[in-house]
Amino acid sequence: MADLTFNTQGGQTVARELLIAYLNTGTASTPVWSPLGKRVEDSSTEFDWDSETKRDILGATYGTLKKPVISQTFDPCELDGDDAAQVKLWNLAVKDQDAQALAAQDVLIVHFYAGESATPFAERYPSSMIEITGLGGEGGGTVGMPITVTYGGTRATGTASKAQDGTITFTA
Amino acid sequence: MPNNETLIIAPEAEQVERAVRAWLNTYSEKPARMVDVEYLGDGTGLTISTVQAAYKTRQFILGGYQAQYQFSLLYQTVPTTANERLEMDEILNNYASWIEATKPELPAKCSFIKCTRNTNAALLGRDADGSEVHQIMFTLLYEVNV
């Protein structure tokens, strides 16, 4: 894939809502992409490149990196019946405790700021691990269900489009 | 004190204020004919007053946000006895109970969360002509694009 440019205004920073992760709450063949992170105020992907460095006998330093392990936490993720992603994860984790299914979730990251505005860059991780790390909260508050996603599987890159009604379509 | 980055844009703030006034005017046991805005006039009157313009309290990564609007409900009349003064507070406290049990029709894209009183009714001030203003204060929480 050729290098992409940002489709946002030059000289301005990119708004946080232009980077969104989606969970497939449909099927592999007919995906329904539901956003992750409703009511989450702060969440970032973390890249672990497994870096190593060495210095040779000439005094030069060299480094090596591996393909990154990318993970992201969404906290507190208050439960909401309208949040399809949360409802699916609650059923898998709390009701069914289906560890195998939770380790093989289909997740899409759309970079709305990169590439064409109508069809921005997107990357699909069809076998991502999603851990539910808690369930509860403080008295008088709401029930939160923080999650940690480790993006995995055979990564596919492509573009995404967003319809008027918000439906996301990924094209590899 | 919210800064300019967290203040709600003026059109939305104005729409929320209008919606709150319309809501309060649906209460069937108001002690005055209607709830005005920032004005009491002479004699008996009811009004809402903005304590702090609506501002964002939480900004979400998906683009939506939570906001709050603080207002007070003021009731003015001319009580002549201690009992009538106590009645003024009772009327406002009953009004507050109704407010906390109902919800307004907020502008499109706004979802009501709750409206709770921050204080119970109490005397705010007394004029030389004997009229008194009692007030009770509220915080209304809502979400936008969530």
**Residues contacting A18, CB < 8 A, separation 6+:** A8, A111, A112, A113
Question: What is residue B83's predicted lDDT score, i.e. its pLDDT?
Answer: 94
Buried b (16+ CB within 10 A) or exposed e, B111-144: ebeebebeeebeeeeeeeeebbbbbbbbbbbbbb
Question: What is residue B2's predicted lDDT score, i.e. its pLDDT?
Answer: 58
Question: What is residue A52's predicted lDDT score, i.e. its pLDDT?
Answer: 97
pLDDT grade for B41, boundaries at 50, 70 and 90 = confident
- Using the Cβ of A35 and the Cβ atoms of chain B, whether some distance falls under 8 Å is answered with yes
Residues of B in contact with A35 (CB under 8 A): 62
Residues of A in contact with B66 (CB under 8 A): 39
Which of B62, B66, B113, B143 best tests the A interface by mutation, with the highest count of A CBs <10 A? B62
Mean pLDDT, 10 residues at a time, over chain A (172 residues)?
A: 94 97 96 97 97 97 97 95 97 98 98 97 98 96 96 97 96 95
Report ipTM (2 d.p.).
0.90
Q: What is the mean pLDDT of residues B79-88?
A: 93
> Is B62's CB within 8 Å of A42's CB?
no
Question: What is residue A80's predicted lDDT score, i.e. its pLDDT?
Answer: 96
Residues of A in contact with B146 (CB under 8 A): 38-39
pLDDT grade for B42, boundaries at 50, 70 and 90 = confident
Question: What is residue A84's predicted lDDT score, i.e. its pLDDT?
Answer: 97
Query: Distance (Å) from the C-alpha of residue B59 to the closest C-alpha of chain A?
Result: 6
Question: What is residue B23's predicted lDDT score, i.e. its pLDDT?
Answer: 96
Q: What is the mean pLDDT of residues B21-50?
A: 92
Question: What is residue B10's predicted lDDT score, i.e. its pLDDT?
Answer: 84
Partner residue facing B58 (CB), from A15, A35, A41: A41
At B28 the three-state DSSP class reads coil
pTM value?
0.88
pLDDT grade for B52, boundaries at 50, 70 and 90 = confident
Q: Which two tokens stand for residue B40?
A: 């009491």
- A30-A36-A40 Cα angle (round to 5): 165
Q: Which two tokens stand for residue A160?
A: 């995404």
Question: What is residue B5's predicted lDDT score, i.e. its pLDDT?
Answer: 62
